[in-house]
Structure 1
């Protein structure tokens, strides 16, 4: 079953069963001209802010479509929230992490300008990179038919992370940590998983984070790639928190 999203900022909060929802713009054109959505086919449309409606296509043509709302699901944001603080990485490894983490249910994503990050977002590149990650998160949410699309923050250096994530429990994924994530006692605080770049978290950087209250934790006996560690941790926590 195909799933689509309204344009950013548009909401389905006032929609009820039996209503007709119309979709235009690039999303609808792609559905009609590329995905070949047909009359009568059931599709889902979400607003990325907690509401997903599903129903048969009533109109399809000229880059616009309309469905009749047969089912309506409204979800509250999951608690405690899961935040991925993903270090900028070379190639597409950080983007792979964003995609997988979104499919697995992450609630917020923070691009981390870590000390050992080879990739650098500076000037106009910073907003371009954020928008790229936001697009990846949106497409991954669509594929998963998620009610909520995770927010992607601006690229943030280490010094600003404690302030940005105030009130959140900071967990630094560190292979040498004594405590394992699977055994960590959880509470009601939001959880932020800090994943370093290919070279890992620098020693002075780890010291600065722990001084600010962050907790080093390990996933297991092996060292995972930066593209894999965050999604693996999110999967583990999702099971422990009863999301799955």
Structure 2
């Protein structure tokens, strides 16, 4: 997930474009499951969705929600991972403190990838690679 501002008129076309890219990538890599692209969500909508996942009662099936943040102390290499992982990547300039507090209340765990702060364009890819290394996929 990426936090961004989308023009309401352009959102359906943008979601379709990203879904087509996900479909093509899944076919090319012979994935059994094609990722679903949704959006955009406002921060309150995202918090509501994350809170609903947490409140479902089955903590074993609740996803691990990770939010990349430059002031995080936990490293991606040390956090426990569930079978499902939700990765939140903020805009250039980072996620604000009040927004981060709301995400944490909904179960998100701030993490860092290392000592450097990466640009939004590369942060998600690096984080997904690190998550992949920690799972049985690799």
1:202 matches 2:96 = yes
2:27 corresponds to: 142
1:2-151 → structure 2 map (5 Å cutoff)? 85-88=1-4, 119-122=5-8, 124-151=9-36
Runs (5+) with no aligned partner, structure 2: 54-61
In 1, the alpha carbon distance for the partners of 2:39 and 2:63 equals 17
3-state SS, counterpart of residue 156 of structure 1 = coil
Q: Is the 8 A contact 2:6 2:40 kept in 1?
A: no
Runs (5+) with no aligned partner, structure 1: 1-84, 89-118
In 2, the alpha carbon distance for the partners of 1:145 and 1:243 equals 13
In 1, the alpha carbon distance for the partners of 2:39 and 2:18 equals 10
Q: Is the 8 A contact 2:73 2:111 kept in 1?
A: yes
1:180 pairs, out of 75, 78, 91, with: 75
In 1, the alpha carbon distance for the partners of 2:64 and 2:112 equals 15
3-state SS, counterpart of residue 138 of structure 1 = helix
More strand by share: 1
Structure (1 or 2) with the larger CA radius of gyration: 1
More helix by share: 2
Shift of 1:149: 1.7
In 1, the alpha carbon distance for the partners of 2:21 and 2:77 equals 28
Shift of 1:170: 1.6
TM-score of the superposed pair, with normalisation by structure 2:
0.82
3-state SS, counterpart of residue 10 of structure 2 = helix
1:161 matches 2:55 = no
Q: Report how many residues are paired.
A: 128
Q: Which has the higher contact order (CA 8 A, sep 6+)?
A: 2
RMSD: 1.7
TM-score of the superposed pair, with normalisation by structure 1:
0.49
1:241 matches 2:114 = no
